[in-house]
Amino acid sequence: MRFRNIIFIVLGLFLIRLLVQSQIVLPLYRCAWPGVPTGVFFATSGDTKGYTKPWINLIEKGIYSMDGTTPTVYRQPYPGLLFGICYLVTRDETLSMEITAVIQILLGSIAICVMMLLCRYICEDITGNNTISYRAMYLYLILCVLSLHTLFYDGAILSDGPAIAFVSFFAYSYYQYLIRNKKTKYLLISGIFISLVTLYRPYYLAFYPILILHLGYHLWKNNKTISFIVLRSFYIVLPFIFMNLPWTIRNYVVFHKFMPFYDLAYHIANEHFQACTTYISIAKQVITHSDAYYTCRCSAFCYFETHPDSQCPQRFPRYIIGKNLNMNEIENLNRVHKKYAYSYAYDKKAGENLIHSAQKMLEYYKMDHPYTYWIWPRLYALKKFLIHGGTFYFPPFYKGVSELNPFFFIFLKLLQAGLYWFALLMGSFGLFYLSIIRVYTSYLLLVPIFLISLFCIFLMNYESRYFFASYPILLLGSVFISVYLTSNLRAKALFSTFKR
């Protein structure tokens, strides 16, 4: 495909996505989360201030800080860098968010086209048929136009959208190194993009050993020496070291401590926060990290309610109930949590009782489930992480059909849920099959496996937005297997016709 045609596709896709963002995605989001600041193209959430406020204070007061006086090491500065540049020029927060969202949507549109080309290259490599590869490429493009999952994140003033785009750029450039052109520059480029992903999402640091093992195995199969493998592995790590060096030096100068990422203790160092942090570390072994965080810092007053008509949006999981941790004990937990939640000024006794309740809950839970206590929270996190409609930015059904066009709302919700499940199921199968017939492509499958393992097994955090970084890759896998199977079935049908 000519470069000029790719530019036209990017521009067309960009304009379509801007229109869809402003006329469909954001109205849905406003209906789902009334009162949350939004604009023509941008959306915000509770995390947005953590990215934008330090840059505003840096530009206006000369200190990278949340409150404008105390130095901050709460979040990485890189996700807010684009906003900071825009604010430096405009000195208007809302306008800066609009420009940031537009640029991120453009970045996301480029990422879609890059993955579209990767889909074509892979299908051409497998089938050897130029027509089939182009069919796969355009099918991927159409599905991305229909899908709103990554579009919402592209327009949100968060780290998610750019991180998804950088994962796509990494997938493409790493493939270029592995199979199409084994030049060192492609390995360095892929190292730059995985570094950007890590700077935006620090937990991807844990992906580096997996990536290095994949690269080492590929090079070893091609009869490369140990020194050659080590050197090429260093090319993957080198960009991250250089790109994160300024932030690490700044933290060491300011706090006299080696902090390459961030440290929450330097953001809110008070007794209330410390009590909550202690509670989460204990309770997450029973009710997952996500729920422990929720009960401690958000709506602790209703999570452990036992009556069936509770309207609490989050309820305790049934698997925790047993002989010792029975309904009476859960009601006691509820009373402790309510007292803690309603102590608007920090009550030291309430904080101590909260920690004690977590310790008691864990002790009883282990007594009731001595062999499976470490399994159920992870299965619960896995269920919440993957099994959903993929439309968290949609309002509840009753609200959507009453405040929006009911037929359009239902159609759109079914379409997005269908695309999510198509990508998850068919994409997983497609990537698995692709890894068997072309081992070097297994790095694509490793991305969703890494995210599922990290969040569901190790962190027990089920926020589904962390999984959407793998959505473009899963969509590629689903398109590949669909085109591959249909082309094979068509060929078999044609062969059987000639045979008759």
List, in order, residues 6 or more apart from 66 with CB less than 8 Å away: 49, 50, 53, 54, 57, 72, 74, 267
Closest CA to 313 of 327, 325, 295: 295
Task: Express each pLDDT in 314-365 by its tens digit.
Answer: 888 889 999 999 999 999 888 888 887 766 555 678 888 888 989 999 999 9
3-state secondary structure of 268: coil
Among 49-53, 240-244, 345-349, 484-488, whose mean pLDDT is lowest? Answer: 345-349
Q: Residue 206 has what pLDDT?
A: 95
Measured in degrees and rounded to the nearest 5, phi and psi for residue 438 equal -135, 90
Contact status, residue 140 vs residue 119, Cβ threshold 8 Å: yes
497, pLDDT greater than 50: no
Domain positions in the chain? 3-257+390-492, 268-368
Q: For 64-105, how does the pLDDT look when each residue is reduced to its tens digit (9 = 90+)?
A: 988 888 888 878 899 999 999 999 999 999 999 999 999 999
Count of CB atoms within 10 A of residue 178's CB?
21
* Res 335: pLDDT: 87
**What is the residue type of 42?**
F
Count the neighbouring beta carbons within 10 Å of the beta carbon of residue 461.
20
Q: Which residues of 422-440 are buried (b: 16+ CB within 10 A; e: fewer)?
A: bbbebbbebbebbbeeeeb
Pairwise CA distance, residues 280 & 287, whole Å: 10
Top pLDDT among 273 and 396 is at 396
pLDDT band of 495, cuts 50, 70, 90: very low
Q: What is the mean pLDDT of residues 295-317?
A: 79
Beta bridge partners of 43: 38, 156
Three-state DSSP at 303 gives coil
Angle of helix 271-297 relative to helix 348-368, nearest 10 degrees, comes to 50
Look-up of token digits 């849920």: 417
Comparing 225-234, 267-276, 430-439, which segment has the lowest mean pLDDT? Answer: 267-276
The answer to whether 279 touches 354, Cβ cutoff 8 Å, is: yes
Distance CA 99, CA 26 (A): 16
Cα–Cα nearest to 202, from 76, 68, 118, 50: 76
**b/e map of 131-156 (b: 16 or more CB within 10 Å)?**
ebbebbbebbbebbeebbbbbbbbbb
Query: For residues 119 and 137, what is the distance between their CA atoms, to the nearest angstrom?
Result: 6
Q: Report the share of the chain in percent with pLDDT over 70.
A: 93
Considering the entire predicted model, what is its pTM?
A: 0.91
C-alpha neighbours within 13 Å on the C-beta side of residue 498 = 5
Mean pLDDT computed over 229-240: 93
pLDDT of residue 449 exceeding 50, the answer is: yes
- Predicted pLDDT at 203: 94
Higher pLDDT, 337 or 497: 337
Average pLDDT, the chain: 89
CB 184 within 8 A of CB 192: no
Rounded alpha-carbon distances, angstroms, from residue 420 to 80, 213, 407, 466, 467? 29, 30, 20, 14, 11
Q: Given a cut of 60, is residue 493 above it in pLDDT?
A: no
Q: Could you say which DSSP state residue 43 is in? A: B
Residue 260: pLDDT band by 50, 70, 90 thresholds? confident
In this structure, are residues 193 and 166 in contact, taking their beta carbons and an 8 Å threshold?
A: yes
Q: By C-alpha distance, which of 460, 47, 23, 14 is closest to 280?
A: 460
pLDDT tens for 158-185 read 999 999 999 999 999 999 999 866 778 8
For 285-295, what is each residue's pLDDT tens digit?
Answer: 999 988 888 88
Over its C-alpha atoms, the chain yields an Rg (Å, rounded) of 25
Mean pLDDT confidence for 243-257: 91
**What pLDDT, in 10s, does the model give residues 55-75?**
999 999 999 988 888 888 878
Determine the Cα–Cα distance for residues 327 and 332; give it in Å rounded to an integer: 9
Residue 18 contacts residue 105 (beta carbons within 8 Å): yes
In the three-class reduction of DSSP (H, G, I as helix; E, B as strand; rest coil), residue 73 is classed as coil
